[in-house]
Homo-oligomer: A and B are copies of this chain.
Amino acid sequence: MNQIVPSTRARLKRLAKRGAYDRETVHAVLDASVTCHIAYVLDGQPYCTPTAYWRDGDRLYWHGSSVSRMLQGQGAGIPVCLTTTHIDGLVLARSGFNCSMNYRSVMVFGTAAKVEDEAHKLEALDAYVERLFPGRVAEMRRPTVKEVRATTLISMEIEEASVKIRSGPPHDDDDDLDAGIWAGVIPITEAIGALQPCPLLPAGIVPGATTDPYAPGRHFDDILRANVGGAVAPADAGE
């Protein structure tokens, strides 16, 4: 139950112990990021395009300009593969072969299609703002009809998905343990910096509650997970 069952395309061929397919883990890794890369094919050519995305249940959304080549191509309903990856650290082993990275990655398969209904579009675009800045929609002016029409919204049901996670120290060969060189993990995190006010901001306007989560030094993935009510670290599927 609660499995997003992988077919051959989503099943991990190697290192199955690093793989997880349960819905909770798939959602947790998706919810820890807001940017992804999407693979799709136009005229036989594969493209890998970065974009922002957000999730509503088992449905993903992304958007952009109505003249975007990617979105025009995907709007007709084509198979795509959407992947997001967090690099959590460099794993420095005693041999090159055993060096690795710690990461959390999820690969999602589905069929992209354009959302035409304007009420649905508006609702989804609001959800994207709220996903990053809870409470912000109430503060901002509403999107105009022109803006909504100038935005292409793509939606995709998660048909299949697979997660890969690696964490923890290096795994060296026993014979290498006395190599006399340092080995371990160099952690990497996406950290928030000091807020940079818009130069056109009138005097006296200070950041409001909607930017409170973005405290300098906080980890971006923790903020994103907390914004959707999730725990700050997804389940660990082992090495």
Could you list which residues of chain A lie within 8 angstroms of chain B, going by C-beta atoms? Answer: 9, 13-15, 35, 37-41, 44-50, 52, 65, 67-69, 79-83, 85, 87, 89-90, 92, 94-97, 99, 101, 103, 105, 107, 109, 125-126, 128-129, 132-133, 136-137, 139-141, 143-144, 147, 150-151, 169-170, 172, 176-202, 205-208, 211, 214, 220
Contact = CB atoms under 8 A, between A and B. Distances in A.
A141 B87 CA distance: 26
Contacts of A169: 196, 198-200
Given A47-B81, A184-B195, 9 more contacts: A39-B46, A46-B80, A47-B107, A52-B101, A97-B151, A181-B205, A182-B206, A184-B207, A186-B193
Contacts of A92: 133, 136, 211
Q: Provide the main secondary structure of the chain A interface.
A: mixed
A118 B146 CA distance: 59
